[in-house]
């Protein structure tokens, strides 16, 4: 099993190329000696500690095996500065940061600063898929309500159903009777639209104005790819569902 397969990396083009290379090597007369090299090349090249770090880094979104190797190289060359600083900051974050008890945004306190901010409009709630979407909307400077983080979107094919999202908590917030408008800021994708539809049906008959971001965001993308002005316009032009 090669390194890409060992770390669970998807069969992208590079892995296909590697597989075809292995197959071509196997067809040669000296394939037995070649296969020893190909089976676990990382064992010859990397120490156990390096290999473990490579595997961990490769689990991160957007980091492929090549990027993981570049990061390892950089960290080992800058151990005492960047390396140790990264260990400390990661350790602190993992230990201290968790979900807000109200909105599920990341926070070091039980309740996040946005939920505690009394200058924000408690009657206006923006529902987002991920906590990272909050920073994108905050950059527009045009939203002064509060948020609710779903922690994902409905994706039946990936077995993400309503129970995996924070919908029960959202329902409880609505039941408190303070919220008057829910803005569904899900991603402009099939799954995002499906999630918005599910929530709008869930809120039917509760006397809540349910709106959705105006179209204009690139279909199939995510909120963090939209520029602040485009997102501000989508918020401003939100429409009733
Ligand atoms: Zn909060």
- State the distance from the centre of ligand 1 to the C-alpha of 17, rounded, in angstroms: 46
The band of 214, judged by pLDDT with boundaries at 50, 70 and 90, is confident
Long-range contact set of residues 221-226: C-beta below 8 Å, sequence gap at least 24:
221/187, 221/188, 221/189, 222/129, 222/133, 222/187, 222/189, 223/128, 223/129, 223/133, 223/136, 223/137, 223/185, 223/187, 224/132, 224/133, 224/136, 226/136
Which numeric CATH code is attached to 106-240?
3.40.1360.10
Listed range (24-38, 47-61, 103-117, 221-235) with the worst mean pLDDT: 24-38
DSSP 223: G
pLDDT tens, position by position, 68-88: 999 999 999 999 999 999 999
Percent of the chain at pLDDT > 90 equals 65
- State the distance from the centre of ligand 1 to the C-alpha of 205, rounded, in angstroms: 26
pLDDT tens, position by position, 95-111: 999 999 999 999 999 99
Domain boundaries, the chain: 3-95, 106-240
Q: What is the pTM of this model?
A: 0.73
- State the distance from the centre of ligand 1 to the C-alpha of 97, rounded, in angstroms: 13
All residues at 6 or more sequence positions from 87 whose CB lies less than 8 Å from its CB, including other chains? none
Residues near ligand 1 ion, CB 5 Å cutoff: 100, 102-103, 105, 112, 115
Judged against a pLDDT cut of 50, whether residue 89 lies above it is answered with yes
Read off the tokens for 241: 């569902």
Give the span between the Cα atoms of 223 and 26, in whole angstroms: 46
């Amino acid at each position: 099993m090669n390194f890409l397969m060992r770390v669970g990396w998807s069969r992208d083009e590079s892995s296909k190329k590697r597989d075809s290379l292995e197959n071509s090597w196997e067809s040669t007369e000296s394939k037995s000696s070649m296969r020893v090299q190909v089976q676990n090349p990382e064992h010859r090249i990397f120490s156990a500690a390096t290999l473990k770090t490579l595997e961990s880094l490769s689990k991160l979104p957007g980091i492929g095996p090549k990027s993981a190797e570049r990061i390892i190289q950089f960290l080992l060359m800058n151990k005492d500065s960047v390396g140790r600083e990264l260990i400390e900051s990661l350790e602190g974050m993992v230990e201290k940061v968790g979900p807000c008890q109200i909105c599920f945004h990341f926070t070091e306190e039980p309740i996040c600063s946005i939920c505690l901010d009394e200058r924000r409009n408690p009657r206006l709630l923006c529902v987002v898929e991920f906590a990272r979407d909050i920073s994108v909307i905050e950059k527009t400077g045009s939203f002064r309500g509060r948020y609710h983080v779903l922690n994902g979107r409905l994706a039946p094919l990936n077995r993400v159903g309503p129970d995996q999202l924070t919908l029960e908590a959202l329902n409880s917030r609505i039941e408190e009777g303070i919220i008057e408008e829910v803005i569904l800021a899900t991603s402009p994708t099939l799954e995002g639209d499906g999630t918005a539809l599910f929530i709008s049906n869930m809120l039917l008959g509760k006397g809540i104005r349910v709106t959705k971001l105006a179209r204009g965001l690139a279909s199939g993308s995510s909120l963090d790819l939209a520029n602040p002005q485009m997102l501000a316009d989508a918020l401003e032009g939100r429409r009733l569902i």
